[in-house]
Amino acid sequence: MNQLELTSTLKNAFHEDIGMGDLTSESVFTENQQGKGIYTSKADGVLAGLDAVIAGYNLLDPGVTVTLHKKDGDFVKKGDIIGEVEGSIRILLTGERVILNLLQHLSGIATSTRNVVDLLDDPTIAVADTRKTLPGLRSLQKYAVRCGGGKNHRFRLDDGIMIKDNHIKAAGSIKAAVEMVQKHAGHMVKVEVETETEEQVLEAVAAKADVIMLDNRSPQEVKKLINIIPDDIVVEVSGGITPQNIGSYKNCGANVISLGWLTHSVKALDISFNLQ
């Protein structure tokens, strides 16, 4: 996990949540009251973001002791104890919501990713995320995808070229668009072309694209189109793929299946925090 991104995210979240202070905890507990809190999984799932517990309390009070019983990528069952924290009760409760929000969200992404990897049941096809992430959380969300056994698509607009429908319209053709970007791109940058028809696939092959995306194609259509794409071109399938149908893409011949909902529509993993 990118510690700089994590620290920055936590600082912003604490500023938003705490404001001038935790009125409730500061009213109920004295400054020196010490206690212990337990993080417990309330559902089966895969963990991601445990560094948020350590980094979060370190920002609020380095005197808080954090003991983790699990690590990122671990599968937990309902009732499993994830970790314990000891220190000022005020600090434990002040940091509770921000830390839980991040831990639950990232663990939800890891859990969903592991679920679709298992449903696909094809180690020859990588399950990947997209850029459909929440603003400010991309690095952390993509880390969670890796914790769940998935792979990352490009992180930003500057680390890969993806020619989509609007680029093709503006350039006039796939051939013209590829030629334009190849004049600007360095030799380390790959070029991906999004295609919607067989004719576009053939044009992308002729243009020597590095990656061809088959957009909103059924498993049967993917198997047919694979036959006209050379083996040295990476084939990505995206669009309309859900947990309900991803299993039908097993053995379709693609190299990658990307799913935007892994990061933008995921359900959080239920995790509780309780004082002992």
Give me the pLDDT at residue 2, please: 87
Query: 133, 156, 80, 139: which is closest to 266 by C-alpha?
Result: 133
Q: Which long-range contacts (CB under 8 A, 24 or more apart) does 184-193 make?
A: 185/161, 189/159, 189/160, 189/161, 190/160, 190/161, 191/161, 191/163, 192/160, 192/161, 192/162, 192/163, 192/236, 193/162, 193/163
* Cα–Cα dist 114/259, whole Å: 13
Give CA separation, 206 vs 104, 184, 195, 201, 220, in Å.
46, 19, 13, 9, 23
Q: Which residues are catalytic?
A: 97, 132, 164, 194, 215
Give me the pLDDT at residue 86, please: 98
From first to last of its 276 residues, the chain has per-residue pLDDT tens of: 889 999 999 999 999 999 999 999 999 999 899 999 999 999 999 999 999 999 999 999 999 999 999 999 999 999 999 999 999 999 999 999 999 999 999 999 999 999 999 999 999 999 999 999 999 999 999 999 999 999 999 999 999 999 999 999 999 999 999 999 999 888 899 999 999 999 999 999 999 999 999 999 999 999 999 999 999 999 999 999 999 999 999 999 999 999 999 999 999 999 999 999
Give me the pLDDT at residue 1, please: 86
Radius of gyration from C-alpha coordinates of the chain: 23
* Cα–Cα dist 7/13, whole Å: 10
* Cα–Cα dist 138/107, whole Å: 14
Specify burial of residue 272 (Cβ count, 10 A radius: 0-12, 13-18, 19+): middle
- Read off the tokens for 171: 């350039």
Element (H, E) at 128: strand 126-128
Give me the pLDDT at residue 114, please: 98
Sign of CA dihedral 144, 148, 153, 159: positive
pTM of the model: 0.94
Give me the pLDDT at residue 186, please: 87
- Read off the tokens for 37: 């809190």
DSSP string spanning 183-228?
HHS-TT--EEEEESSHHHHHHHHHTT-SEEEEET--HHHHHHHHTT
Crossing angle between the packed helical segments 96-120 and 51-60, to the nearest 10 degrees: 170
Return the DSSP state at 66. E
In the CATH hierarchy, which fold is given to the domain comprising 114-264?
TIM Barrel (3.20.20)
In the CATH hierarchy, which fold is given to the domain comprising 3-111+267-275?
Aldehyde Oxidoreductase; domain 3 (3.90.1170)
Residue-range domain boundaries for the chain: 3-111+267-275, 114-264
Single-letter amino acid, residue 148? G
Residues composing the chain: 276
